[in-house]
Amino acid sequence: MKETVKAQSVEGNSAVIAVAPVRVARAGSRDDIRAVLMIWKRELIRFFRNRIRMVTSLAQPLFFLFVLGTGLSPVISGHGSSFNFRTFMFPGVLGMTILFTAIFSAVSIVWDREFGFLREMLVAPVGRWSLVVGKCLGGASVATFQGVIVMLLAGGVGVPYAPTLMLTLLGELALTAFCLTAFGVAIAARIRKIESFQVVMQLLVMPMFFLAGAVFPLSGLPRWLSDLTKIDPLSYAVDPMRRAVFHHIHAPTIMTRLLDAGVTWNGWRVPTLLELGIIAAISLIMLAIAVVQFSQQD
Amino acid sequence: MTKVDSIKNGNEVGVAIGVDALAKSYGDVEAVKGVSFQVLQGETFGFLGPNGAGKSTTISMLCTLVKPTAGKAIVAGFDVLQAKADVRRNIGLVFQDTTLDDYLTAEENLRFHAELYGVPKEGLKERMDALFEMVGLEQRRNSIVGTYSGGMKRRLEIIRGLLHSPRVLFLDEPTIGLDPQTRTHIWEYIESLRKSEEITMFLTTHYMDEAENCDRIAIIDDGEIVAIDTPERLKASVGADRVGIGTQDNESAISLLREHFGLEATMSEGLVVVYVEEGERFVPRLFDGLGMTINSVSITRPTLDDVFMNYTGRTIRDAEASVSEKMASNPWLRRRR
């Protein structure tokens, strides 16, 4: 095979704009951290630039809280004592808000795949874990932010703005948001088509929402339904928030027993710390699954 | 980290890409059947062939995006199998399909890239300024990319691929889907780049006229390299210029050509056609020696199309037609979108 050497064709081109090259240093964990922060930042930029998404994702919680919550109040009040059912709904609606926002953020990976941007990330010389962690932190931040907006409605549904309650809820929201985003990213890693997102919503997200005790109390359920609520991870996220809310209001004992029954294993009420531990453990497992899945992709 | 172990003979000019018997199979389908070649530093090297010939698969293997089933490739001094991250840090990629974030501004897209590739913060702004200026996007750098035209997006992708000062820039069909004018502009940028950045460029195209812009080209057909050289030499290897002669009496023109010049002429589209070396020197002799009136003469130099035809026995368009038939009958090969 003949070889033509094209050497020194560099001289004599005054018209060319000089572009000074930069030198890229050797890779290190610092580069991975930079990648994490950048992907996190991208999620925030995209979220805050999309006003329509912010507004529409707030519409659903408002409907549940004020329409469904108000509509069901007379049913509960039939028990003899007056109780604002919206107060009961409040933690559930918080959970719902972060569930949908987090899953939506995570599933944007499928959009990135469809529109090519995922490729730009996958070819970068950084550890895949940094892409996944950045995405999860970004989605979790966005979901927590949405949760906080709903949290500000507390006064309107009979939940006091006690600082300890607000801080407790904030922490629980953030943890849950991270868990749900990691869960969504682990699923999105396998989804190739946008259409499949509908399937995920119908078969995973909606059941998770309904079985979490977000809209109805977990007490007095038939066995099959009760068992299903116990395997729904979201139950362990909604319950701590509801417990915190009931701790700060003065509800009639009968109402507390009925509405704040919590998740029980064989009659033993699972303590808050264990519930949060479960959520944290699921977060790590999902994160690990997502990292493995992305590491295997070209 | 594997340092260049030059695959072939010792090299004075550095080897930017060294490929030895690189192959990729998908099940029974051999997409690339063991190709070998070298690209020297500073060269613009083109991979020319019909769609589906294995161009994109080869480029993907060189960029560490697809794992070869056999063979070896060294890119920018690193082995694509053993030092993936080192290869990636030293190459720039411009894909066929856009990989920009439509919701971010042009500058945000570049900053994102800079963070992913660990580009030092000092000097980054200056470099971005210069790159934006080079492709004439400085006015639109703060616009959301979703508002860009196809040509602007491609220009942005090219400068993004250059942001981290790669030693080799891979361009997979850089002008596909663009209008002729924009295609010309893109080539002007590529030309100015190779002068200012001293960068090695590896590109694929199925446009014959674009391949002319390369220092060397490899013609790939059905997963194999069938020819590799400078465009001039490839065209010369096809040989003769095509001389078309218009006369009143073509029958006698053919016999006179045989008698006086010893040439076997054929008829094509109403013209008497002969193939000769150096057609422009032949024409004066033709007028002097043919001994009959000539109405018109045309000389056509061989094009890369003729080269492709010569090496594969079909035109690039025929080759693409047969590939698209294959794709149509096989739903798994069909592209989305």
Encoded amino acid at B228, one letter:
I
Q: What is the reported pLDDT for A273?
A: 95
**A188 is a domain residue:** yes
Pairing label, strands B216-221, B224-229: antiparallel
User: Residues B311, B221: contact at Cβ < 8 Å?
Assistant: yes
Residue A148's pLDDT band (cuts 50, 70, 90): very high
**A94 is a domain residue:** yes
How many other C-beta atoms are found inside a 10 Å radius of the C-beta of residue B41? 19
User: B119, A22: Cβ pair inside 8 Å?
Assistant: yes
User: Residues B211, B22: contact at Cβ < 8 Å?
Assistant: no
Residue A105 to residue B232: CA distance in whole angstroms: 53
Q: What is the reported pLDDT for A13?
A: 34
> CB distance from B278 to chain A under 8 Å?
no
Buried b (16+ CB within 10 A) or exposed e, A126-145: bbbbbbbbbbbbbbbbbbbb
Residue A65 to residue A215: CA distance in whole angstroms: 9
Evaluate if residue B6 carries a pLDDT over 60.
no
Pairing label, strands B44-48, B216-221: parallel
Q: Which residue from A104, A127, A153, A7 is spatially nearest to B198, judged by alpha carbons?
A: A7
Q: What are the CA-CA distances from residue A167 to residues A64, A149, A248, A261, A276 (Å)?
A: 23, 14, 13, 23, 15
> CB distance from A52 to chain B under 8 Å?
no
Q: In this complex, which of A20, A46, A120 lies closest to B127 when CB atoms are compared?
A: A20
**A14 is a domain residue:** no
User: B108, A45: Cβ pair inside 8 Å?
Assistant: yes
Q: In this complex, which of B66, B86, B228 lies closest to A298 when CB atoms are compared?
A: B66
Residue B164 to residue B169: CA distance in whole angstroms: 11
**A153 is a domain residue:** yes
pLDDT tens per residue, range B27-86 = 888 899 999 999 999 899 999 888 888 888 999 999 998 899 999 999 999 999 998 889
Q: Which residue from B258, B237, B256, B238 is spatially nearest to B247, judged by alpha carbons?
A: B256
CA distance B131 to chain A (A): 7
> CB distance from A116 to chain B under 8 Å?
yes
Query: Dihedral of CA A35/A194/B144/A18: which sign?
Result: positive
Angle between helices B124-134 and B106-116 (to 10 degrees): 130
Residue of B nearest to A15 (CA): B192
Query: Dihedral of CA B91/B95/B99/B105: which sign?
Result: positive
Which residues form the domain of A219?
31-295
| Comparison of pLDDT for B237 and B86, the residue scoring more | B86
Residue B29 to residue B23: CA distance in whole angstroms: 11
The whole-model pTM stands at: 0.79
Q: In this complex, which of A9, A17, A124 lies closest to B130 when CB atoms are compared?
A: A17
**What is the rounded average pLDDT of the residues A234-262?**
89
Q: In this complex, which of B85, B134, B215 lies closest to A19 when CB atoms are compared?
A: B134
Q: Which residue from A160, A146, A193 is spatially nearest to A43, judged by alpha carbons?
A: A146
User: B195, A16: Cβ pair inside 8 Å?
Assistant: yes
Encoded amino acid at B36, one letter:
S
**A11 is a domain residue:** no
Edge-to-edge strand order for the sheet containing B70-75?
A: B29-40, B15-26, B70-75, B78-79
CA distance B119 to chain A (A): 5
Q: Which residue from B2, B53, B28 is spatially nearest to B227, judged by alpha carbons?
A: B53
Q: Where are the domain boundaries for CATH 3.40.50.300 in chain B?
A: 16-235
Count of domains forming chain A: 1
Name residue, tokens 């941007």. A117
H or E segment at B245?
Answer: strand B241-247
User: A10, B112: Cβ pair inside 8 Å?
Assistant: no
Lowest mean pLDDT among A24-33, B192-201, B228-237, B284-293: A24-33
In the numeric block, which tokens belong to residue B282?
């032949």
User: B104, A46: Cβ pair inside 8 Å?
Assistant: yes
CA distance B43 to chain A (A): 6
Q: What is the reported pLDDT for A17?
A: 40
Measured at the CA of A127, the angle between CA A124 and CA A130, to 5 degrees, comes to 100
pLDDT tens per residue, range A37-55 = 999 999 999 999 888 888 8
**What is the rounded average pLDDT of the residues B151-171?**
91
Beta-bridged to residue B243, according to DSSP, are: B274, B299
User: A22, B216: Cβ pair inside 8 Å?
Assistant: no
How many other C-beta atoms are found inside a 10 Å radius of the C-beta of residue A60? 13
User: Residues A279, A233: contact at Cβ < 8 Å?
Assistant: yes
State what percent of residues in chain A have pLDDT above 70: 88
C-alpha B53: how far from its chain's center? 13
State what percent of residues in chain B have pLDDT above 70: 89
Phi-psi category of B6—alpha, beta or left, where left has phi over 0 and alpha has psi -120 to 50?
beta
- Please identify among residues 125-144 of chain A the ones whose CB lies closer than 8 Å to any CB of chain B: 125-126
Encoded amino acid at B218, one letter:
A
C-alpha B324: how far from its chain's center? 20
**What is the rounded average pLDDT of the residues B6-27?**
75
Pick among A4, A17, A19 to test the B interface (most B CBs inside 10 A): A19
Residue A296's pLDDT band (cuts 50, 70, 90): confident
Lowest mean pLDDT among A72-81, B113-122, B265-274: A72-81
In the numeric block, which tokens belong to residue A271?
């303590």
User: A22, B124: Cβ pair inside 8 Å?
Assistant: yes
Residue B39 to residue A274: CA distance in whole angstroms: 61
CA distance B196 to chain A (A): 6
User: A16, B120: Cβ pair inside 8 Å?
Assistant: no
> CB distance from A4 to chain B under 8 Å?
yes
User: Residues B200, B169: contact at Cβ < 8 Å?
Assistant: yes
**A12 is a domain residue:** no
Q: What is the reported pLDDT for B8?
A: 39
User: A20, B123: Cβ pair inside 8 Å?
Assistant: yes
> CB distance from A51 to chain B under 8 Å?
no
Q: What are the CA-CA distances from residue B110 to residues A29, A38, B163, B198 (Å)?
A: 21, 12, 7, 21
Q: What is the reported pLDDT for A22?
A: 54
The domain B240-300 having CATH identifier 2.40.50: the answer here is no
> CB distance from B97 to chain A under 8 Å?
yes
Measured at the CA of A136, the angle between CA A125 and CA A176, to 5 degrees, comes to 165
**A190 is a domain residue:** yes
**A15 is a domain residue:** no
CATH class of B16-235: alpha beta
Identify all chain A residues contacting B229, using CB atoms and an 8 Å cutoff: 1-2, 4
